[in-house]
Structure 1
Amino acid sequence: MRVLLGIAGAVVVLGIFSSVLRTLVIPRPTRSGFTQVVQRLVHHAFQLVADRSTNAETKDRVLAPVAPLAIVVTLISWLASFLVGFALLEAAVSQLGAREALTESGSSLLTLGFASGNRATLTVIDFCAAATGPIVIGLQVGYLPTLYSAYQSRETEVTLLQARAGSPPWGPEILVRYAQVELLDSLIELFRNWERWSAAVSESHTTYPVLIHFRSPKATRNWLIALLAVMDAAALRMAFNPSQPKSQIRLALRAGFVCLRDIADIRGIPYDPDPRPDDPVQLTYQDFLMGVERLRERDYPMERTPEEAWPHFRGWRVNYESIAYRLAQDIDAVPAPWSGPRRTPVSIRTPRTPIDRRPVA
């Protein structure tokens, strides 16, 4: 019986140590089954409440605490699991009962010291438990600044995009607003910034997957919808303006869908790694024409007709649409044009696009 208790305790302690290392220490995408289960349980509880709302702002308020709370619950779950694991080891090497073993383990793990035993075998385990508690808590505390630094960096570009793409953002709106203020030549700078943004998000959101569920400060903003809008703007620019410089736009598009594919890999979302340009997309041609009409309203220069541009636009969008739609549904991103369905139908108050009013000469 003691052997079985010892084996069970060792499995628990080593398994949780592995979870801590994979989540907080190893600087590369690594999956921890324990962490994933805990965070999904927390998310599921809030999602049940959010799914009952038909208002996007209300749903966003319900889901906003999920990711930060999941971090706290994960830490508590680690400590509770260590408590049980060390208690099993204490019971295996002594005559302690379940209650006494838990008391001894908790006293050492939390460095309280009120239940210290005088047996050598217990002392060794007490030392291990006493070192474990502060180390895990210290690692978690050190993990938070890195996490929030990545979040702040992500949200800075998302906030800057609000003036360029509306809120929630939309690909055609980016081109419209740049045309409206006669800055179409500056689109290259926008795409260059979002190429670097995509690379940074790919690294941070695969190393720390909880960031995927961190929501923007406002309900009408979302990192995924912002990325989708920039990629759609790039695809539209390529489709309608073949004579304009293409290299930076192509790089931004590729960085964008590589970012989405890296996140899809860490979340186990299936996708076609090499789709054909003529493969079907969920965005309909009629929805595409709605975006084209928006471009025409603001006299955006188009070198191709919608019929000619559609195959080119679709050929780019097939690389990222399915992943973007699936992620938008999973995280309940703010509803926006060309971003697919959500878990439940919701409504949102969309700010109107400001008119570029100029003095009459």
Structure 2
Amino acid sequence: MRLIHTLGGVLILLLTIASILRTLVVPRGLYSALAYRLWWGLRTLLRLSAAPFGTYHAQDRAQTWLAPLILLGMLAVWLSSMLLAYTLLLHGISELNWAVSFREAGSSLFTLGFASGERLHLSALDFLAAASGPLVIALQIAYLPTLYAAYNRREVEVTLLQSRAGEPAWGPELLARQWLVDTETALPQLYRDWERLAADIGESHSNYPVLLSFRSPRPHRSWVVGLVTVMDAAAIHLAVSPDSAPPEARLVLRAGFTAMRDIARSLRVGFDPDPTPDTPVLLTFAEFDAAVSMITAAGFPRERPAAEAWPHFHGWRVNYEALAYELARRSDAVPALWTGPRDFRTAAIPPARPTDRRPPPDGGA
């Protein structure tokens, strides 16, 4: 039995070290079973706690706690697993009973030193345990600045998008507002900024999936809704007014669905890597037609009628709609227009309309 306990301790220790390395160290977007299970369990618990209130805002308040609970949960599981592993090892290679083995493993792992003895053949194991505890905590502490730096880069652009595309953001609203206030010349730069942000999100959120659970400071903002907004605006621009659409529109679309696919691979979400232009989408032509009418009324130059533009828009949206809906569902994002269903009952929330109007030509009040 002691041999079995020793082998069990070695196996648990190796699995714990592998989990720590793939989650905190290896920059490869590897799948972390621990992070996924903590996300699933804690998200379900928080969602059920908010369910009696029956509103999106209740869900948003509850899910705010998801990311910090996942971080604490990972640390607790790793330290508990190491404590169990060292307890099994000490019990397996010595004559210590379970209580003494647990006490010495905890004393060494947390560097307390109150249970050390003069058993030289166990000193190496005690030293290894004493090094493991601080190392895991140090890696977790070093992990936080990386997470918050990526979070801050993301939220700056999401916040800047609010005045351009409403809150919650919506692709047609983004285009309509630019022509209403004569800022359409700023769209190429916006597309460039979100192309770079999409690349950043694809790299950071696939390497550190816990970032998906970090919510925006405001309940009606979301990184995935913002990305879908910019991509929808670019797709409409290319479909309805191809001659005036800047080349940056194509670039942000490709960067956007590439980022979503990178994140999907790290989460083991299945997707079609090469969808055909006639692959069905959930967005309907009636919704697209209404959006085109709205942006045209705002002054957007329409070069194609909606019926002719629809196949072109559809051809772009098949590349990202399914993944966008899945990421929005998993992150419990604000239920903005054109972002798919959620796991809780809620109606789509349209963007809030600005109360101000376009200033008169002379710039007066």
Equivalence for 1:321: 321
Equivalence for 2:131: 131
Equivalence for 1:281: 281
Instruction: Structure 1: give runs of 5+ residues left out of the alignment.
Output: none
Residues 181 and 358 in structure 2, CA contact (< 8 A), matched pair in contact too: no
Please tell me the residue identity of whatever aligns with 1:236: I
Between the aligned partners of 2:169 and 2:117, the Cα distance in structure 1 is 62
Give the number of equivalent residue pairs.
361
Q: How far off is 1:255 after superposition? A: 0.2
Between the aligned partners of 1:331 and 1:185, the Cα distance in structure 2 is 33
Map of 1:338-353 to 2, 5 A cutoff? Answer: 338-347=338-347, 350-353=351-354
Please tell me the residue identity of whatever aligns with 2:357: D
Map of 1:35-50 to 2, 5 A cutoff? Answer: 35-50=35-50
Q: How far off is 1:247 after superposition? A: 2.3
TM-score (norm 1): 0.96
Q: How far off is 1:138 after superposition? A: 0.5
Between the aligned partners of 1:309 and 1:280, the Cα distance in structure 2 is 16
Residues 19 and 35 in structure 1, CA contact (< 8 A), matched pair in contact too: no
Q: 1:217 to 1:173 in 2, by over 3 A?
A: same
Q: Could you tell which deviates more after superposition, 136-145 or 43-52? A: 43-52
* Local SS of the residue matching 1:95: coil
Equivalence for 1:358: 359
Q: How far off is 1:360 after superposition? A: 6.7
Equivalence for 1:68: 68
Equivalence for 1:103: 103
Between the aligned partners of 1:144 and 1:276, the Cα distance in structure 2 is 41
Between the aligned partners of 1:106 and 1:315, the Cα distance in structure 2 is 59
Between the aligned partners of 1:233 and 1:44, the Cα distance in structure 2 is 33
Equivalence for 1:181: 181
* Local SS of the residue matching 2:143: helix
Please tell me the residue identity of whatever aligns with 1:340: G
Identity over aligned residues, as a percent? 46
User: Per-residue CA shift, 1:115-148, capped at 9, x if unaligned?
Assistant: 0121122211110000000000001001100110
Residues 19 and 32 in structure 1, CA contact (< 8 A), matched pair in contact too: yes
Moved over 6 A (4+): none
User: Per-residue CA shift, 1:87-129, capped at 9, x if unaligned?
Assistant: 0000011111111111110000000001012112221111000
Between the aligned partners of 1:154 and 1:203, the Cα distance in structure 2 is 12
User: Per-residue CA shift, 1:199-240, capped at 9, x if unaligned?
Assistant: 000000001000011110010000000000000000000011
Equivalence for 2:305: 305
Between the aligned partners of 1:112 and 1:226, the Cα distance in structure 2 is 48
Equivalence for 1:257: 257
* Local SS of the residue matching 2:168: coil
Equivalence for 2:20: 20
Please tell me the residue identity of whatever aligns with 1:351: A
Q: How far off is 1:76 after superposition? A: 0.9
Residues 24 and 139 in structure 1, CA contact (< 8 A), matched pair in contact too: yes
Equivalence for 2:204: 204
Residues 167 and 220 in structure 2, CA contact (< 8 A), matched pair in contact too: yes
Residues 50 and 59 in structure 2, CA contact (< 8 A), matched pair in contact too: yes
Map of 1:167-246 to 2, 5 A cutoff? Answer: 167-246=167-246
Instruction: Structure 2: give runs of 5+ residues left out of the alignment.
Output: none
Map of 1:49-88 to 2, 5 A cutoff? Answer: 49-88=49-88
Please tell me the residue identity of whatever aligns with 2:186: S
Q: 1:198 to 1:360 in 2, by over 3 A?
A: closer
Q: How far off is 1:289 after superposition? A: 1.9
Residues 180 and 358 in structure 2, CA contact (< 8 A), matched pair in contact too: no
Between the aligned partners of 2:339 and 2:236, the Cα distance in structure 1 is 15
Between the aligned partners of 1:360 and 1:146, the Cα distance in structure 2 is 47
Question: What RMSD over aligned residues (CA atoms) do the two structures have, in Å?
Answer: 1.5
Between the aligned partners of 1:237 and 1:245, the Cα distance in structure 2 is 6
Q: Could you tell which deviates more after superposition, 226-235 or 115-124? A: 115-124
Q: Could you tell which deviates more after superposition, 95-104 or 162-171? A: 95-104
Q: How far off is 1:245 after superposition? A: 4.5
Q: 1:312 to 1:53 in 2, by over 3 A?
A: farther
Residues 22 and 32 in structure 1, CA contact (< 8 A), matched pair in contact too: yes
Between the aligned partners of 1:310 and 1:355, the Cα distance in structure 2 is 32
Residues 53 and 346 in structure 1, CA contact (< 8 A), matched pair in contact too: no
Between the aligned partners of 1:258 and 1:350, the Cα distance in structure 2 is 27
Residues 31 and 268 in structure 2, CA contact (< 8 A), matched pair in contact too: no
Residues 169 and 351 in structure 2, CA contact (< 8 A), matched pair in contact too: no
Q: Could you tell which deviates more after superposition, 261-270 or 316-325? A: 261-270
Residues 43 and 70 in structure 1, CA contact (< 8 A), matched pair in contact too: no
Q: How far off is 1:355 after superposition? A: 4.1
Equivalence for 2:336: 336
Equivalence for 1:161: 161
* Local SS of the residue matching 1:163: helix
Q: How far off is 1:8 after superposition? A: 0.2
